[in-house]
Structure 1
Amino acid sequence: MAVSVTIDTRTIGAGDDALVESAWELKERIRRAEGVLKQRRDFFTDAYRRARVYALVEPGYDDEQLVGFAATRRDGYILFLAVDPNYRDRGFGSQLVAAVADDHSSVTCHARTTNEPALDFYRSLGFEIERRIDDYYEDHGDAYYLRLGENESLTTKLSRFMPGT
């Protein structure tokens, strides 16, 4: 699939359900293909509507396509982070985390202990595992609680994974 280089960044405030259906559909495609992002629809849509969402959108002639999104709480905790598999390895996940870090003094999240691609991604950005939580997920899966490391400033960390810096 050819990928356009024109990707718009949007910030969607809490209470706005813009792109919620597109985000659900993207999350579900990833869940079916990779076995991650296993949230129930009501949980997902409620959390999405309460979150600030950073969305990456590819504009089209008649419509637009959601490339990826990060839904966050007010404290910088990433509830959901997803990038369309057709757009991965282009820095979009890093761009989403950078947007979150730009607006918050700390960035945290959970990741399944078995989700090596996600753990590798977060580690590459400087996240550190703070603790393991057994039976964290509804399906009794275990999780790591991750924090963007505090040994250096967020600005320094961000400059490591942002293109052109």
Structure 2
Amino acid sequence: MTLERRIVPPGEDDYLQAAWELKEAIREEEGLLKQRWGFFADAYRKATVHAFFDGETLAGFAAARGDGYILFLGIDPDYRGRGLGERLIAAIAEDATGVSCHARVSNRNALEFYEHLGFERVRRIQDYYEDGVDAYYLRLGDSDRLLERLTELFGR
């Protein structure tokens, strides 16, 4: 699989519509990523966005603040299981001193994914999401571990 990595700096909105459409497809299919357009677009424009494209198809993206906090991470279901999520996290880790995020306590796939990469559950936050669902605040415990793992997987 040959994917092209593209980076959107803060203040730009390249690929915003494609990212929104992918997020909405995930929401409709899995009941996740429930953010509204205004919130999503505002956060997207303030973030650095790392995206991978297969031709003109958005395979996955991650939007992160400068401090490494992941605002959104979405992978097209057709591209899952190929290490794309790990590559996106690694791209964020390259530019930040730490990496962190929130995940729904009910989102087993996300929790397993992040913990597989070395993220640790720091705390549970009650009623974090608009729909009243709790979240875990997760932080990458050892960024060197992630980089070592990616070197093993991708020969980076």
- Please state if 1:19 is matched with 2:15: yes
Where does structure 1 lack aligned partners over 5 or more consecutive residues? none
Q: How many residues align?
A: 154
- Please state if 1:156 is matched with 2:142: no
What one-letter code is carried by the residue in structure 2 that aligns with 1:43? F
User: What displacement does 1:157 show?
Assistant: 2.4
Looking at structure 1, the residues matched to 84 and 47 of structure 2 have their Cα atoms a distance apart, in angstroms, of: 19
Look up the match of 2:124.
132
Where does structure 2 lack aligned partners over 5 or more consecutive residues? none
Out of 55, 62, 76, which is 2:68 matched to?
76
Q: Secondary structure at the match of 2:103?
A: strand
- Residue-by-residue CA offset, 1:95-149 (whole Å, 9 max, x unaligned): 0000001111100000000000000000000000000000001111100000001
Identity, % of aligned positions: 55
Out of 75, 89, 92, which is 2:81 matched to?
89
Q: Secondary structure at the match of 1:144?
A: strand
User: What displacement does 1:155 show?
Assistant: 2.6
Looking at structure 2, the residues matched to 88 and 146 of structure 1 have their Cα atoms a distance apart, in angstroms, of: 21
- Please state if 1:103 is matched with 2:99: no
User: What displacement does 1:161 show?
Assistant: 3.7
TM-score (norm 1): 0.91
TM-score (norm 2): 0.96
Report if the CA contact (8 A) 1:125-1:161 is conserved: no
Structure having the higher helix fraction is: 2
User: What displacement does 1:48 show?
Assistant: 0.3
Looking at structure 1, the residues matched to 135 and 154 of structure 2 have their Cα atoms a distance apart, in angstroms, of: 33
Calculate the aligned-residue CA RMSD, in Å.
1.0
User: What displacement does 1:160 show?
Assistant: 1.3
User: What displacement does 1:164 show?
Assistant: 3.3
User: What displacement does 1:158 show?
Assistant: 1.9
Looking at structure 1, the residues matched to 146 and 91 of structure 2 have their Cα atoms a distance apart, in angstroms, of: 13
